[in-house]
Amino acid sequence: MSYALGIRENLRPFLEQLLQVFFVGLTIGLQRTVIPALAETEFGVVQGSMTAIFAFIVSFGIVKGAMNFVSGRLSERVGRRKVLIWGWLAALPIPFMILWAPSWGWIVAANVLLGVNQGFCWSMTVTAKMDIVKGSERGLATGFNEFAGYGGVALAGLVTGYLASYFDPRISLFVFGLVVILLAL
- Cα–Cα distance between 59 and 61 in angstroms, integer? 6
Q: At residue 39, does pLDDT exceed 90?
A: no
Whole-angstrom Cα distance, residue 75 to residue 83? 6
pLDDT of residue 1: 55
**Structure confidence by residue, pLDDT tens digits, 69-115:** 999 899 999 999 999 999 999 999 999 999 999 999 999 999 999 99
Q: Where are the domains of the chain?
A: 22-42+50-184
pTM: 0.92
DSSP string, 9-70: TTHHHHHHHHHHHHHHHHHHHTTTSHHHHHHHHHH-PPTT-HHHHIIIIIHHHHHHHHHHHH
Torsion sign over Cα 177, 23, 131, 12: positive
CA 158 from centre of chain: 16
For 13-38, what is the mean pLDDT? 92
pLDDT over 70 at 133, yes or no? yes
27 phi, psi to nearest 5 deg: -65, -40
Nearest by Cα to 117 from 155, 81, 64, 156: 64
Distance CA 80, CA 124 (A): 6
Q: Report the CATH architecture of 22-42+50-184.
A: Up-down Bundle (1.20)
